C-alpha cells in the first residue's frame, strides 16, 4: 500500500525521461496511468479511515490517548498521492 504513490511517481519520471521505452506512448501505458490516478488516492483514503478507526478503538479499550503514529503515516501518504495527482493535472496536455 505504501508503494502505490511511489509507483505513480515512477511512472511520471519514467515517462518524462523516456525510461519506460515508449510504454507511456501506448494505450496500455495511458490506461495504467489513469487507473493509478484514481486508485492510489482511493486506497490511501481507505487506509487512513481504517487507521483512524483502529486507533480510536484501541484508545477506548485501553483508556489511553489515541496514538497518531499510524494515522499520521496514512495521512502523509494520502496527501502525497493527492499532491501527485494535482501535479499531474497541472501538467496534463490536452
Could you read off the pLDDT of 26-45 as tens digits, one per residue? 787 778 888 888 888 999 99
For residue 6, name the pLDDT band (cuts at 50, 70, 90).
Answer: confident
Mean pLDDT across the stretch 61-78? 89
Tell me the CA distances in angstroms from 76 to 31, 34, 67, 91, one per residue in order. 26, 22, 15, 23
Q: How many domains does the chain have?
A: 1
Integer-rounded Cα Rg, in Å, for the chain is 17
By residue range, what is the domain housing residue 71? Answer: 3-90
pTM over 0.85: no
Question: Of 83, 86, 70, whose CA–CA distance to 1 is shortest?
Answer: 70
16-20 — which CB contacts under 8 Å span 24+ positions?
Answer: none
Q: Which helix (H) or strand (E) holds 90?
A: helix 69-90
Amino acid at each position: 500500500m505504501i508503494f502505490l504513490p511511489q509507483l505513480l511517481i515512477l511512472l511520471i519520471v519514467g515517462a518524462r525521461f523516456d525510461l519506460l521505452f515508449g510504454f507511456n506512448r501506448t494505450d496500455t501505458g495511458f490506461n495504467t496511468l489513469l487507473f493509478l490516478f484514481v486508485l492510489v488516492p482511493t486506497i490511501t483514503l481507505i487506509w487512513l479511515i481504517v487507521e483512524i478507526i483502529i486507533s480510536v478503538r484501541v484508545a477506548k479499550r485501553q483508556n489511553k490517548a489515541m496514538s497518531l503514529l499510524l494515522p499520521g503515516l496514512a495521512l502523509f501518504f494520502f496527501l502525497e498521492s493527492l499532491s501527485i495527482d494535482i501535479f499531474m493535472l497541472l501538467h496534463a496536455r490536452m
